[in-house]
A and B are shown apart, each in its own frame.
Chain A
């Protein structure tokens, strides 16, 4: 295996296996261990905030960073805010995609 070149053959499949391990052990951890392992009540309550925090941390860099630098005046932030507003106001599930993508595409004209 040499540095600077695509992994190949057995090394590549070994890498897939390790990435899979690093994916499915976290996913299965508590679901599989089940009732033998219990998290304290306070931790469980705190964990309810995990989805909100994780979603925002996935979304925020895409909307606030342009080429790795902080830039709040960009089209993706506008598109994201518009998509949020539309999803908040209307029940139509396709509308946020139409509005958000329309703003991103318009900016390229």
Chain B
């Protein structure tokens, strides 16, 4: 761990810290949901360590509980995780010439929040060690935080009040992520189209409406950027 790595680690951790509070209720909810589906403590902890993905875990639990076919469980998880292909592709240039083990570890650790706070700054940095510090510190912290509070949810499942709407804190966390993004007009359009299209297409099977919404949002943002550039050139 050299100087640049430590500097990156400090900055990445600091950038992610305020957002990480949103993981806490989300993790508690996931822990409680696994137990109430009927998993044992050991099975819940096992699922959380192997899968480590709140959306995919919450999305597949009803299927697991109903004894659905394995292929359907896997396809559902895959659809819920397609956004990571986009994130992974966007981040790939920042991982060039990084050793294979670190890339595998980074893939396992990649979560939405760290991508959202880190992608732009990682791609802008010329220093490989700084980038790895900036990615790994908040990612490892997110992993520890997630495991700890899911465990709290798993162990406290029977004692927690279920009517506090604590899961809405996760939505608020995502909303605060939109604030720095929403300062450029094509980004605002991408968000508006993505959100509205997802709501309109909500009846598509297997949560495909969300994927379609995201794709439409990206297309709208990209088209707006092009149009803006052409108008400025003219």
Contacts and interface: CB of A to CB of B under 8 A. Distances in A.
Interface string A54-91: 11111111111100101000001001100110011000
B172 A97 contact: yes
B90 A61 contact: no
Q: Which of A56, A84, A96, A100 has the most chain B CB within a 10 Å cutoff?
A: A56
B56 A47 contact: no
Given A52-B217, A53-B218, A54-B83, A16 B104 contact: no
B89 A19 contact: no
B172 A23 contact: no
Contact of A50 (B52, B90, B182): B90
Contact of B214 (A18, A30, A57): A57
A20 B60 CA distance: 11
B160 interface: no
Nearest to B115: A51
Contact of B175 (A14, A50, A87, A101): A87
Interface residues of B, number: 97
Nearest to B64: A7
B204 interface: no
B65 A19 contact: no
Interface in B61-94: 64-67, 70, 73-75, 77-78, 81-93
Interface string B182-223: 100011101111111111001000000010011111111110
A56 B195 contact: yes
Contacts of A6: 37-39, 64-67
Interface of A: 1-7, 11-24, 26-35, 37, 39, 43-65, 68, 70, 76, 79-80, 83-84, 87-88, 93-94, 96-97, 100-101, 104-105, 108
Given A26-B81, A52-B187, A84-B179, 20 more contacts: A4-B67, A7-B67, A12-B64, A15-B73, A15-B74, A16-B51, A17-B50, A21-B74, A22-B81, A23-B84, A31-B88, A31-B110, A32-B100, A32-B104, A46-B222, A52-B194, A53-B191, A57-B217, A59-B178, A60-B195
